[in-house]
Amino acid sequence: MSNQALARKWRPRQFADVVGQEHILKALVHALDQNRLHHAYLFTGTRGVGKTTIARIFAKALNCEQGVSAEPCGKCSACLSVDEGRFVDLLEVDAASRTKVDDTRELLDNVQYAPASGRYKIYLIDEVHMLSGHSFNALLKTLEEPPAHVVFLFATTDPKKLPVTVLSRCLQFNLRALGEAEIAGQLGKVLDAESMEHDQRALALIADSARGSMRDALSLLDQALAYGSGRVVEDDVRQMLGMVDDAYIQHVLDALAASDSAALMDAVAKMAEMSVDFEAALDDLIFLLYQLAMVQELGRYPVESRFDRDWVAGVAEKISPEDVQLYYQIAINGKKDLPYSPYLRTGFEMIVLRMLVFRPAPAGESPEPTPPAHGSHGKQKQRPPAAGEQASGAESGAASARRPQAEAPRTGASTGESWHDVVTKLPLNGLLREIALNAVLQHHQAGEISLLVEPVHERVLNAERKASLQQALAAYYGEAIKLTVDFGAPEQETPRARSDRIESEQRQQLVDEVHANPVVKDLQQRFGAQLDDSLIQGKKQ
């Protein structure tokens, strides 16, 4: 019950059969006819546009027993064996599985020997972008000056992965993606030849889904033939492609226009029942939103589209242009996230719900039960620790500004040293040091130390860290220390706030100095020079 795929069965055997790619064929045909051959060719382009095919025909043209020409006879033993994939002098290498430099070396070992039966020895290296860096480098010398009987043909979908040293040694031909008409035409030809029933609309749908690749189109055609048991008709093809019936997308947009979340979820559920491809549905939604924006801007959609004109005009009036822009943006962002979503259905549903929720709701029909004020408050609190840190930093900054000459921090009772001095001398690092810097000494008496730490640090100051802080303090004072920690906003200046304040004071002093400098003043007066305060920097001591 073997069934050779159509893409294999209908692989062109002659340049004349290749669809599209005229720009390349012309160059190759002229080169062959006038015998102006290069020794290395690189064919690039997206999947299924004919890279390997053209390379094989080229190999055939070079080795045909009737002589080098753009029209290999297709009858001699060389042509036939190339077609059957058993020509000894055509070495087709799968670079993606033979990536290692040893494989490449092995290949190059045989370059020097003359071809066994043909005119040229041809190395067709497919998927060449997967070769390792060493493999590419091993190729360079041979690729630049191969023996006269050797021709290299490279094919890849991803030429950006090739080193420039390889690119510069090859003639590069970039195959373009095929147009829908070209694909549909070829599909029609294939089906006629296979005498299968088909209609043009179905072929157009397949050609559209193939996105520029002939092999994709032929694989889809195989699938469509299987699905419709030998017939290719529009309805079958539509179903097979999991194509979103336009009605569903229209339901979604209608529900959005009416801010009706129940209808929205209903529409998604219906789509899931029909096992619609949600990624394609999102693409359709994006396209429709784009079309709405065009209608709103220009008054009409400039070209034919599959969505009903009157319906589009109706929706364009119901949804404000700002909302269309917002939906479009959410949809585009959602497209990025959808692949991460564990379930496509839920992912799609969340994208459309986001459109409802994130819309600045006009009073009265808020889709969100919570008042907007609450929402914005919520946003601010999204990362409480960070927000807290910033807030407390700002507060202490403001506090220090109010009292530039801060009263001396309370000193440790027994030593007379300030907590600031103690902290800088303690052998702490990382997080613990940061906590200590953000703490205030409450009292220190007879081996008991009590600290007040900002509440944002409560989570990170676990028992383990507390113990090591206690140990460090004990080692510093040379006596057993009992450490107690309270959490709350410190009223006095913490060492961290103190050093911040000192730094900002020093900076202000420096800025004042620069402003007072007679040279600067002179420059300002004579040339209208302006000082950019933010660039003033003290010299590091």
* Segment 447 to 466, residues that bind other proteins, using CB under 8 A: 459
Alpha-carbon distance of 43 to 166, in angstroms, equals: 13
Report CA dihedral (364, 366, 371, 375) to the nearest 10 degrees: -150
Q: Which of 23, 30, 38, 47 binds other proteins (CB under 8 A)?
A: 47
Considering the complex, state which of residue 96 and residue 114 has its C-beta at the smaller distance from other proteins.
96
Q: Using the minimum distance from each CB to other proteins, give the nearer residue, 273 or 407.
A: 273
Looking at beta carbons only, is 85 or 518 nearer to other proteins?
A: 85
Q: Closest distance between other proteins and the C-beta of residue 266, in Å?
A: 5
Binding segment toward other proteins, per CB under 8 A, in 60-68, 90-98, 105-113, 314-322: 90-98
**Taking CB under 8 A as the criterion, which residues in 8-37 touch other proteins?**
8
Element (H, E) at 235: helix 234-240
Of 22, 30, 77, 97, the one binding other proteins by CB under 8 A: 97
Least Å distance, CB 36 to other proteins, is 31
Pick the binder of other proteins from 16, 27, 88, 96 (CB under 8 A).
96
Stretch that binds other proteins, among 18-26, 76-84, 339-347, 412-420 (CB under 8 A): 339-347
Taking the least distance from each CB to other proteins, the nearer of 420 and 457 is 457
Q: Which is nearer to other proteins, 36 or 379 (CB)?
A: 379
Instruction: Give the count of beta carbons closer than 10 Å to the beta carbon of residue 357.
Output: 15
**Nearer Cβ to other proteins (91/510):** 91
* Cβ-based neighbours of 283, under 8 Å, separated by 6 or more: 335
Identify the residue among 69, 157, 450, 499 touching other proteins (CB under 8 A).
157
From 224, 226, 227, 175, select the one nearest 204 (Cα to Cα): 224
Residues 163-202, interacting with other proteins (CB under 8 A): none
Nearest to 104 by CA among 146, 127, 144, 138: 138
Q: Name, in order, each residue with C-beta under 8 angstroms of 298's C-beta and a sequence gap of 6 or more.
A: none
Q: How far is the CB of 514 from other proteins (least distance, A)?
A: 45
Q: Which of residues 473-532 bind other proteins (CB under 8 A)?
A: none
State in angstroms the smallest separation of the CB of 1 from other proteins: 4
Residue 134 is which amino acid?
A: H
Nearer to other proteins by C-beta: 364 or 528?
364
Closest to other proteins by CB, 2 or 525: 2
The C-alpha atoms of residue 282 and residue 334 are separated, in whole angstroms, by: 8
Applying the rule CB under 8 A, the residues between 374 and 433 that interact with other proteins are 374-375, 378-379, 381-384
Q: Which stretch binds other proteins (CB under 8 A): 123-131, 445-453, 511-519, 531-539?
A: 123-131
Q: How far is CA 284 from CA 210, 249, 279, 306, 536, in A?
A: 16, 7, 9, 11, 54
- The dihedral built from the CA positions of residue 96, 101, 105 and 111, taken in this order, carries a sign that is positive
Identify residues 346-385 at the interface with other proteins (CB under 8 A).
346-347, 349-350, 353-354, 356-358, 367-370, 374-375, 378-379, 381-384
Q: How far apart are CA 252 and CA 261, in angstroms?
A: 10
Quickly count: other Cβ atoms within 10 Å of residue 97's Cβ. Answer: 10
In angstroms, give the least distance from the CB of 373 to other proteins. 11
Counted residue by residue, the chain has a size of 541
3-state secondary structure 274-325: CCCCHHHHHHHHHHHHHHHHHHHHHCCCCCCCCCCHHHHHHHHHHCCHHHHH
Footprint of other proteins on residues 215-234 (CB under 8 A)? 215-216, 219, 222-223, 225-230
Rg, the chain, Cα only: 37
Question: What is the spatial distance between Cα 38 and Cα 122, in angstroms, rounded to a whole number?
Answer: 12
Between 250 and 269, how does the x/- string for binding to other proteins read (CB under 8 A)? -----------xx--xx-xx
Helix or strand (DSSP H, E) at 121: strand 121-126
271-300 residues near other proteins, rule: CB under 8 A: 272-273, 275, 277, 279
Continuous segment of H or E residues that includes residue 137: helix 133-144
Q: How many CB atoms lie within 10 A of CB 533?
A: 12
Residue 138 or 232 having the CB closest to other proteins: 232
Q: Smallest distance, Å, CB 328 to other proteins?
A: 18
Give the distance, in angstroms, between the CA of residue 205 and the centroid of all CA atoms in the same chain: 28
C-alpha to C-alpha distance for 176 and 45, rounded to whole angstroms: 6
172 forms bridges with which residues in the sheet?
A: 42
Q: Toward other proteins, which CB reaches closer, 103 or 493? A: 103
Question: Nearest distance from residue 472's CB to other proteins, in Å?
Answer: 24
Looking at the Cβ atoms of 31 and 276, the one nearer to other proteins is 276
Decide whether 216 or 493 has the Cβ nearer to other proteins. Answer: 216
Amino acid at 137: N
Minimum distance between the CB of residue 208 and other proteins, rounded to whole angstroms? 15
